[in-house]
């Protein structure tokens, strides 16, 4: 989990920067300064004329890779809870969808619906990576662990845990 902690927080930070740059690209109207896909007019060389959009694409490529690596490590981990694995699969799918959508935004010349979908999917992606971070830092725990915590607090009530968070009170020592 130590590696996943670092990896997921770095991915979340990269995603935050990317979404902020995306907002700037949109608000300042420089979305079509790189009118081609996948590379800008000067290939891999950044130029002043399209610097912001160039950064948006390069950081998107790096972040995409980070999300996929985070998903691979989460799925490989024996200790990662099921919710964390599901969040990582959604994040992996969302990042592939988001990069495809980014290409469509360019090809369709900033079609309003596509740009809106691009923003929405970006938010879903951010939420999923945030969940992975919370799980890896133990700030979000599987339901059976939450039930254990309730039991450990005492109060004389013994709670029997069942799979998928069904709670059965089997003994109330106060009665």
Pick 28 or 171: Cβ nearer ligand HEM: 28
- Torsion sign, CA atoms 127, 78, 8, 140: positive
* Site residues (CB under 6 A) for ligand HEM, limited to 113-172: 115, 118-119, 122, 125
d(C-alpha 15, C-alpha 111), whole Å: 23
In the bound complex, what is the minimum distance in angstroms from residue 32's beta carbon to ligand HEM?
A: 7
Cβ atoms of 112 and 126 closer than 8 Å: no
CA-nearest of 74, 103, 78 to 86 is: 74
25 binds ligand HEM (CB under 6 A): yes
Stretch that binds ligand HEM, among 5-13, 81-89, 105-113, 142-150 (CB under 6 A): 105-113
d(C-alpha 74, C-alpha 81), whole Å: 9
Q: Would you name the residues annotated as active-site residues?
A: 53
- Footprint of ligand HEM (CB under 6 A): 18-19, 22-23, 25-26, 31, 37, 56-57, 60, 63-64, 95, 98-99, 102-103, 105-106, 110, 115, 118-119, 122, 125
């Amino acid at each position: 989990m130590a590696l996943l902690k670092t990896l997921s927080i770095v991915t979340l930070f990269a995603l935050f920067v990317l979404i902020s740059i995306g907002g700037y690209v949109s608000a300042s109207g420089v979305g079509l300064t790189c009118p081609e896909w996948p590379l800008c007019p000067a290939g891999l060389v950044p130029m002043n004329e399209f610097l912001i959009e160039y950064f948006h694409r390069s950081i998107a490529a790096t972040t995409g890779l980070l999300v996929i690596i985070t998903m691979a490590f989460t799925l490989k981990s024996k200790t990662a809870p099921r919710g964390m694995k599901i969040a990582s699969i959604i994040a992996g799918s969302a990042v592939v969808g988001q990069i495809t959508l980014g290409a469509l935004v360019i090809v369709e010349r900033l079609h309003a619906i596509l740009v809106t979908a691009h923003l929405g999917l970006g938010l879903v992606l951010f939420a999923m990576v945030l969940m992975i971070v919370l799980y890896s830092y133990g700030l979000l725990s599987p339901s059976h662990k939450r039930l254990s915590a309730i039991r450990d607090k005492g109060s004389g009530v013994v709670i029997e845990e069942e799979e998928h968070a069904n709670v059965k009170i089997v003994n109330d020592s106060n009665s």
